[in-house]
Structure 1
């Protein structure tokens, strides 16, 4: 299964949006049972993080900073891209399709590389996550480590703040499902294991994604 990548949209350029657009804010607010209250909160406290429930508009896969950045790098360099991605208190939050939080751990349980994947926190129905402010605070990204094609493999952990790496910018963003994130987990784990295994894994996936 780890060699197979489902048919998914792909954006060739890595996004750099650091702030949420109005359409993206509408999408985030749709996760709340009271969207208007979320918009009112953001209007009065634009620089403050907020808490949103998971399970309806999105699930969230919460990964350690370095491994999470490796996952995002693989998604954008060899895969279909990602949905919104945030950094929060030294962790990477990957926004995923509803239901992913329940299915991803089960898929990892069948994967031979599961022991090389650090513990992931999977937030789904009944859970809530803290999301960054819609707009970054002044200086929030000045010393931020790069991700995507320019990811340095030995970068230190993300800063303790809360910021968007790939900010929501449309009303109905594409979100990766459990099989896509399983693929990203395995590719990230293999990149740590050694370049020969990573190269061997790349060729069949490249043929599927670019063929």
Structure 2
């Protein structure tokens, strides 16, 4: 992981005066015991609110209802890549096991939401379109400028709703860009294809040499 160059994601201008309006909620988050990966920290909350066009209103909502989801716009502090849950889990495993890790990640309605560098939503579909294995990647929704997403609450809720898989815990999180996600998507697609090929081999043939299609393999 140390071989990957990480550029810190800049905060939006709305973040500049958040410190002066920090509510008691941030102090409560700071005073908590060491947080699990699913728990937002005070610094993580400040990064999230930097995406809002109305940070004061967002802070007031979170102060009153810290266990309620919120809606934030994409395109300034982050983009979001929205993929099916199973593929998303494989993608996340690949990012952490062999790659640079991930930014914040949420799960909602059978989907995985990966928070990415601004601009990813525009470039990733084009890169996948040029990639040989791009059509093996399941349909994804890319949210950028002009879009908004529902994010999990700051504190874990008891109801079935959006939840953090990897919660934001810093004011300047590293966020994967389109090239990193392309790399991970292609490797997951290849691994899935190879696994499917092995399953399809018939035990009634000589090593199954003529049973599966190898046209997609490099």
- TM-score class, shorter-chain normalisation, is 0.7 to 0.9
C-alpha distance in structure 2 between counterparts of 1:196 and 1:123, whole Å? 30
C-alpha distance in structure 1 between counterparts of 2:156 and 2:191, whole Å? 31
Q: Secondary structure at the match of 1:165?
A: strand
Q: CA RMSD in A?
A: 1.9
TM-score normalised over the length of structure 1: 0.75
From the CA coordinates, give the structure whose radius of gyration is larger: 2
Equivalent residues, number: 167
Once the two structures are superposed, the pairs formed by residues 5-16 of structure 1 within 5 Å of their partners are 7-9=4-6, 16=36
The match for 1:115 is 135
C-alpha distance in structure 2 between counterparts of 1:52 and 1:187, whole Å? 31
Q: Secondary structure at the match of 1:194?
A: helix
C-alpha distance in structure 1 between counterparts of 2:63 and 2:148, whole Å? 21
C-alpha distance in structure 1 between counterparts of 2:122 and 2:60, whole Å? 32
C-alpha distance in structure 2 between counterparts of 1:194 and 1:8, whole Å? 30
In the TM superposition, what is the alpha-carbon distance from 1:161 to its structure 2 partner?
A: 2.6
1:56 aligns with 2:76: yes
The match for 2:210 is none
Unaligned segments of structure 2, at least 5 residues: 7-34, 198-218
The match for 1:68 is 88
TM-score normalised over the length of structure 2: 0.73
C-alpha distance in structure 2 between counterparts of 1:36 and 1:184, whole Å? 37
The match for 1:3 is none
Q: Secondary structure at the match of 2:170?
A: coil
Q: Structure 1 residues 196, 119: CA separation in 2 closer, same or farther (over 3 Å shift)?
A: closer
In the TM superposition, what is the alpha-carbon distance from 1:195 to its structure 2 partner?
A: 4.8
Offset from partner CA, 1:137-189 (integer Å, 9 cap, x none): 24x7xxxxxxxxxxxxxxxxxxx631000000000100000000001111111
C-alpha distance in structure 2 between counterparts of 1:73 and 1:22, whole Å? 26
C-alpha distance in structure 2 between counterparts of 1:115 and 1:196, whole Å? 16
User: Is the CA contact (8 Å cut-off) linking 1:16 and 1:165 kept in structure 2?
Assistant: no
User: Is the CA contact (8 Å cut-off) linking 2:47 and 2:172 kept in structure 1?
Assistant: yes
